[in-house]
Amino acid sequence: MVKKSVSDKQKASDRIGEVRCLNCFYRYKVPPGADRFVCPECGWEWRVSWVNPELAKVRGPMWDKMRF
Amino acid sequence: MSLNRKLGIVDLSTNEIEIKPIPIELRKKFIGGRGLDMYLLYNHTEPGIDALGPDNVAIISAGLLSATLSSASARTHVAAKSPLTGAVGSTNMGGFFAPEMTWAGFHHLMLRGQAEEPVYIWVNDGEIEIRDASHLWGLSTRDTQKALQEELGSEVQVLCIGPAGENLVRYATVMSGMKNAGGRSGLGAVLGSKKVKAVVARGTMDVEIRHPEEALEYDYEVMKHISGTKFAQIMGKYGTMFIQSVTNSTGLVRTQNFQHNQLLDAEPIECEHIEDYTFGTVGCFGCIIHCRHRYIVDGIYDEGPEYTAQGAFGWEVGCNDFETVLMGNHLVNHWGLDILETGSMMAWAMELYEKGIITDKDTGGLKLEWGNTDVVLELIRQIAFREGIGDILAEGPKRAAAKIGKDSLKYNIQVKGMSNLHSDERPTPALALGIATGTRGSDHLRSRPAIDLYHLPVSVLEKVYNNPVEYKGTYTSDYRDYEGKPWQVIWHEMMYMAIDCVGVCKYHCTFLSPNLMKFEHISKFLHYNTGLELSPRDVWDVAERCYNIERMFNIREKFGRKDDMLVDRYFDEPTTRGLEIVRGRTLDRDKFNGMLDEYYELHGWDENGVPTQETLERLGLDEEPSHLL
């Protein structure tokens, strides 16, 4: 039997568009095509890019908020 | 078949050439590639030799799976005593050279002695010749390859050095193709010292596959799995530059040498910008990922850039400009410099300049200021050609610091005299231990447990790290913890050694994704392709043996516990930037030493990091050097 690939498993489990917040590691499903999201767990806002229509990645923080 | 590929020994002082079969007992103990290279290095050098003298050897090899039905079996390994560190020198590159050398009948080529005039080595269908290379001396890496392809045919594969190697820059690369760089350890300078401008391979000797149908089926299954992972899809689009999205966003890079751990407002050098310059991606022999872009900047064509280029010419030197990254990447490839060491040495010089330890008088008027693109590109040239301040920086961390004096060494981020990746490990003890203990010096490619950054559940960590050897301690998901990390470092040491022995790319194994190849995959690939029967545990044992012989080489060169240590800044200066989880962090010195103790104990080494007699006997290394080859 041929094993399911990771992408097959993701499709089966409806994890398309899911990214992890780099601050708290919460898994969040980014709406298709969205270019940013606010983590519902910790409130950090991230910019997003899409590797393909099904695969989102965190692109970077909102740099104007990355101040100390 | 793969097991009949030979060792060629070229004595450049006497022009003698010897060709030897590789005994099967050595294959079972060291497999090939990096592992067998280390056996040869330990057996064919004496302690204390000059790395740039005739007594050093340069060994060029393909892994045992090279040119077989095993995905991404493209890696070429080069070994020698390092002129940068004095420790074991080891470097590894992709491309097409290793398969071509395999088809030419050889898996290992050992160069010893020194030629009087420039030469290149021609390896072709079971024969080896030493040929005059005086017409090639002085050419860039790209022009050298072009000239040799015009001379010998477009199908030849060339491994060569550029001006930096000729000028004995202690971190000169060996290059093949446009961007395949054996960058670390300065082995381009070893070839330069031997007056070897290039090694050229062309072969038509087929590699017989032991179980061809099963090998093809298994390779298809593994490739399908790999290509379906998120990691492979992202790598195929952005290459290793995607890592910057995580590390700089979090605050895990070292910026302005080591003063900060994040480049602010870094949007201009994010990987997505490659889309404005690329006209497609390409891959190495047998690889489906295709992680490198072909790009044009200012009318110049090159490949890459990788994460290290973003670090070297971006956040390390304070340049927030993607074209500086692209151009810097081109120049180091063109002249044959290690991108990582070059960027680190420049950033170090800039901090020294900022602190007034060096001045305009030392730099010839060059303003070594952060973010100065023109200065960055000029410094690369000065290092490659050993001009001005570049002549000092070309010596690498320790020698350059000795020449500059004034406490300059304490600002250099190095281990064993080799600069660290442009990353900051203060918040990540596992990664810190890995770079501190790396055999070739500060090193992210010989042990880095990169998946520690993913906050994986303990159940996943147990599944990955309890195979094929069980660990009885506990794991933690938090990358800031110290617990369980020494074992993770050791597991990755073995994983990366095993993959380097067979000559497969690290991006196909459990390095940046927990879903990729592990020991059982290597075991099966060896069985189907070569008929060499090694269980996953046997593969681990080979890796452990090879890692220990690297350690023995270093012990013989007087390295020990004192050298498995990070510079004080890791312990004394807190991180300044990044997410709250990484901000304000230093490494705890006592806990770090505790990790080091545990690491040695798990390895079967004494408190000074020396393999015990019992360990050597267990691994069959107690009679080395054995001179079986």
Identify all chain A residues contacting B227, using CB atoms and an 8 Å cutoff.
5
Q: How wide is the angle at C-alpha B282 spanned by C-alphas B281 and B283, nearest 5°?
A: 135
What pLDDT sits at residue A6? Answer: 58
A52 touches chain B (CB under 8 A): yes
Chain A nearest-CA distance from B312, in A, is 19
Identify all chain B residues contacting A63, using CB atoms and an 8 Å cutoff.
264-267
Q: Is B429-618 a domain of CATH 1.10.599.10?
A: yes
A2 touches chain B (CB under 8 A): yes
Q: What pLDDT digit, counting tens, does each position of A45-62 carry?
A: 999 999 999 999 999 999
| Count: domains in chain A | 1
Measure the CA–CA gap between B611 and B459, rounded to whole angstroms.
32
What pLDDT sits at residue A65? Answer: 86
Work out how many CB contacts closer than 8 A connect A with B: 69
| Residue closest to B499 by CA, chosen among B463, B552, B528, B542 | B542
Chain A nearest-CA distance from B249, in A, is 6
* Numbered ranges of CATH 3.60.9.10 in chain B: 2-202
Q: Which residues contact B312 (CB under 8 A, 6 or more apart)?
A: B328, B332, B339, B340, B342, B343, B344, B346, B422
Q: Per the domain annotation, does A6 fall within a domain? A: no
Interface test with A, best of B223, B235, B272 (most A CBs within 10 A): B272
Distances (CA, A) of B609 to B72, B441, B559, B564, B621: 34, 15, 9, 9, 16
Task: State the alpha helices, DSSP H only, in B485-574.
Answer: 485-502, 519-530, 536-556, 569-572
Task: Write out the residues of chain B at the interface with chain A, using a CB-CB cutoff of 8 A.
Answer: 221, 224-225, 227-230, 233-234, 237-238, 242, 245-246, 248-250, 262, 264-267, 270, 272, 454-455, 515, 576-577, 579-581, 583
Residue A17: which pLDDT band, with cuts at 50, 70 and 90?
A: confident
Tokens of B557: 């060169």
Q: Which amino acid, B448?
A: R
State whether B272 and A8 contact (CB < 8 Å): no
The pTM is what?
Answer: 0.96
Q: Per the domain annotation, does A32 fall within a domain? A: yes
Quote the domain boundaries for residue A49: 16-65
What pLDDT sits at residue B545? Answer: 98
A6 touches chain B (CB under 8 A): yes
Identify all chain B residues contacting A3, using CB atoms and an 8 Å cutoff.
221, 225
What pLDDT sits at residue A7? Answer: 61
Distances (CA, A) of B275 to B234, B322, B597: 13, 11, 47
Q: Which CATH architecture has domain B2-202?
A: 4-Layer Sandwich (3.60)
User: Per-block average pLDDT, block size 10, for chain B (629 residues)?
Assistant: 94 98 97 98 98 98 96 96 98 97 98 98 98 98 98 98 98 96 97 98 97 97 92 94 95 97 95 95 93 94 95 96 97 98 98 97 97 97 98 98 96 96 96 97 93 94 96 94 97 98 96 94 98 98 98 98 97 96 97 98 98 98 96
| Residue closest to B498 by CA, chosen among B441, B536, B553 | B536
Chain B nearest-CA distance from A7, in A, is 5
Q: Per the domain annotation, does A11 fall within a domain? A: no
Q: Which residue of A2, A8, A63 is in closest CB contact with B264?
A: A63
- Classified as helix, coil or strand, A61 is strand
Tokens of B377: 């590109």
Identify all chain B residues contacting A2, using CB atoms and an 8 Å cutoff.
221, 224
CB distance B197 to B160 below 8 Å: yes
Q: Per the domain annotation, does A4 fall within a domain? A: no
Q: Per the domain annotation, does A58 fall within a domain? A: yes
Strand B16-20 to strand B106-112: parallel, antiparallel, or no bridges (unpaired)? unpaired
Residue A9: which pLDDT band, with cuts at 50, 70 and 90?
A: low
Identify all chain A residues contacting B262, using CB atoms and an 8 Å cutoff.
66
Measure the CA–CA gap between B391 and B565, rounded to whole angstroms.
28
State whether B233 and A52 contact (CB < 8 Å): yes
Q: What is the mean pLDDT of chain A?
A: 85
CB distance B324 to B376 below 8 Å: yes
What pLDDT sits at residue B607? Answer: 97
Q: Per the domain annotation, does A5 fall within a domain? A: no
Q: Is B229-415 a domain of CATH 1.10.569.10?
A: yes
What pLDDT sits at residue A1? Answer: 46
Measure the CA–CA gap between B45 and B37, rounded to whole angstroms.
12
A8 touches chain B (CB under 8 A): yes
State whether A57 and B265 contact (CB < 8 Å): no
DSSP string, B61-125: EE-TTTTSSSTT---EEEEEE-TTTSSEEEEEE-SSHHHHHHHTTEEEEEEES--SS-EEEEEET
Q: Per the domain annotation, does A1 fall within a domain? A: no
Other beta carbons within 10 angstroms of residue B182's beta carbon come to 32
| Residue closest to B233 by CA, chosen among A59, A43, A6 | A6
This complex has an ipTM of 0.89
Interface test with B, best of A1, A4, A6 (most B CBs within 10 A): A6
CB distance B369 to B391 below 8 Å: no
Q: Which residue of A10, A58, A60 is in closest CB contact with B267?
A: A60
State whether A63 and B267 contact (CB < 8 Å): yes
Q: Which residues contact B579 (CB under 8 A, 6 or more apart)?
A: A22, A23, A44, B249, B250, B251
* Numbered ranges of CATH 1.10.569.10 in chain B: 229-415
- Name the closest residue on chain A to residue B220, using Cα atoms: A2
Element (H, E) at B375: helix B373-384
Identify all chain A residues contacting B224, using CB atoms and an 8 Å cutoff.
2, 5
Q: Per the domain annotation, does A25 fall within a domain? A: yes
